[in-house]
Chains A and B, each alone.
Chain A
Amino acid sequence: KAGVTQTPRYLIKTRGQQVTLSCSPISGHRSVSWYQQTPGQGLQFLFEYFSETQRNKGNFPGRFSGRQFSNSRSEMNVSTLELGDSALYLCASSLEGERYGYTFGSGTRLTVV
């Protein structure tokens, strides 16, 4: 069974630009979460979507946004990029129910120059 697919794997952008990252969850998983990982701040929760609705949002500025489509695929967008947005962005999908672990993708490594 296919895992969580994130595209692209690597991305280099310039300050002020915007970027869109994509995540395709495991088939049947309707919950998709996004996390930012940096050496300084560690892993931080961005937002979580279920059935096209944002259920939870982390403490990030409005430049970070996301959406989920009817096929559960999700995108996150960062506008007006800053150098501090350089990070590994991880997407995770999950089945409903407390016992299910979140399956993560390999991440998109974003570098802002």
Chain B
Amino acid sequence: AQKITQTQPGMFVQEKEAVTLDCTYDTSDPSYGLFWYKQPSSGEMIFLIYQGSYDQQNATEGRYSLNFQKARKSANLVISASQLGDSAMYFCAMREGLSNDYKLSFGAGTTVTVRA
């Protein structure tokens, strides 16, 4: 079964607007972490934001925020005030069993294109 589902293969967003990237996950482990990464065309995966399953507050990092809805098993990424440099592939990932498992399961990714 797919652990991470990203249903939006591609999105276009106007510069300076906000964009929401969807991510749903599947796990029976009560202890897990959710990550978002950005992958520009150069190939490097850039860590954006992290949300732990026990975190009470939604994570925020600058223009990135994570809308964590635990009961719905969703962890959507919101990018505010989009910039041309935000054009890239975005991946949602999960790590289960945080105490001793360092494996990340990735979604298929969403390509974001920011238009001027």
- On A, residues with C-beta under 8 Å from B are 31, 33, 35, 42-45, 48, 50, 55-56, 58, 88, 90, 92, 94, 98-99, 101-107, 109
| Residue B57 lies at the interface, judged by CB distance under 8 Å to chain A | no
A residues near B104, Cβ cutoff 8 Å: 33, 35, 43, 45, 92, 102
Tell me the minimal C-beta distance from A68 to chain B in angstroms: 13
How long is the Cα–Cα vector from A16 to B41 in the complex, in angstroms? 29
How long is the Cα–Cα vector from A43 to B104 in the complex, in angstroms? 9
Tell me the minimal C-beta distance from B50 to chain A in angstroms: 6
Task: Evaluate contact between A109 and B43: CB separation under 8 angstroms.
Answer: yes
Interface residue tally for chain B (C-beta within 8 Å): 25
How long is the Cα–Cα vector from A92 to B103 in the complex, in angstroms? 11
How long is the Cα–Cα vector from A17 to B47 in the complex, in angstroms? 34
- On B, residues with C-beta under 8 Å from A are 33, 35, 37, 42-47, 50, 52, 91, 93, 95, 98, 100-109
Given A45-B105, A58-B103, is A99 in contact with B52 using a C-beta cutoff of 8 Å? yes
